[in-house]
Structure 1
Amino acid sequence: MTPIPDLSSWSTSITDVKDSSIRYRGVPIEDLIDDGDLATTLWLVLFGGTPGTGSADALRRALIAALDHGVSAPSTLVARVTASTRSAVPFAVAGGLMAFGGPAHGGAAEGAANLFVEIAASDDHETGARDVVRRLLDRGERLPGYGHPYHRRDPRVPGLMGGVAEDRTHRRIARLCEAALRAESGRDLRMNADAAVAALLLDAGLGTADITLVTGLGRAFGLAAHAREELMEEKPFRAPSLDTIRFVSPAKQEEA
Structure 2
Amino acid sequence: MTATKPASPPDLAQLCADYWSTSIVDIHPGSIKMRGYPIQELIGNVSFPQMIWLMLRGELPSGDEAALLEAALVASVDHGPHAPSIAISRMATSCGLPINGAMASALNALDDVHGGAGQQAVELYADIAARMAAGGTLEHAVEAGVDAFIATHGKYLPGFGHRFHPVDPRAGRLLALVDQRVENGTIEGRYAAIARAIEALLRARKDRPVPMNIDGVTAVIYAELGFAPELARGVFCLSRAVGILAHAWEQRGRGERNKGPMPRQIAYAYTGAPERHLDPA
Conserved? CA contact 2:76–2:236, under 8 Å: yes
The residue aligned with 2:267 is 244
Letter in 2 for 1:117: A
Distance 1:234 1:182, change over 3 A: farther
SS state at 1:228 partner: helix
Q: Do residues 55 (structure 1) and 65 (structure 2) align?
A: yes
1:38 Cα deviation after fit = 1.1
Conserved? CA contact 1:66–1:216, under 8 Å: no
Q: Do residues 118 (structure 1) and 127 (structure 2) align?
A: yes
Structure 2: 5+ residue stretches without partners: 1-14, 276-281
SS state at 2:169 partner: coil
Q: What is the 5 A alignment of 1:1-256?
A: 9-103=19-113, 105-122=114-131, 123-135=136-148, 141-161=155-175, 162-163=177-178, 164=181, 165-239=186-260, 240=262, 241=264, 244-250=267-273
What is the TM-score normalised by the length of structure 2?
A: 0.81
Conserved? CA contact 2:93–2:99, under 8 Å: yes
- Tell me the distance in 1 between the aligned counterparts of 2:16 and 2:252: 38
For 1:134-154, what per-residue CA distance to the aligned partner results, in whole angstroms no more than 9, with x for missing partners?
A: 455678511111111121111
- Tell me the distance in 1 between the aligned counterparts of 2:150 and 2:29: 59
Distance 1:76 1:181, change over 3 A: same
Distance 1:224 1:124, change over 3 A: same
- Tell me the distance in 2 between the aligned counterparts of 1:244 and 1:200: 43
Conserved? CA contact 2:142–2:197, under 8 Å: yes
- Tell me the distance in 1 between the aligned counterparts of 2:81 and 2:238: 18
1:70 Cα deviation after fit = 1.1
Structure 1: 5+ residue stretches without partners: 1-5
- Tell me the distance in 2 between the aligned counterparts of 1:119 and 1:54: 26
For 1:55-112, what per-residue CA distance to the aligned partner results, in whole angstroms no more than 9, with x for missing partners?
A: 2122211111111111121111111111111211121111111222233x22011111
Conserved? CA contact 2:119–2:229, under 8 Å: yes
Bigger CA drift: 163-172 or 243-252?
A: 243-252
Letter in 2 for 1:244: A
Distance 1:234 1:169, change over 3 A: farther
Letter in 2 for 1:112: A
Indicate the structure (1 or 2) with the bigger Cα radius of gyration: 2
1:250 Cα deviation after fit = 4.2
Letter in 1 for 2:95: T
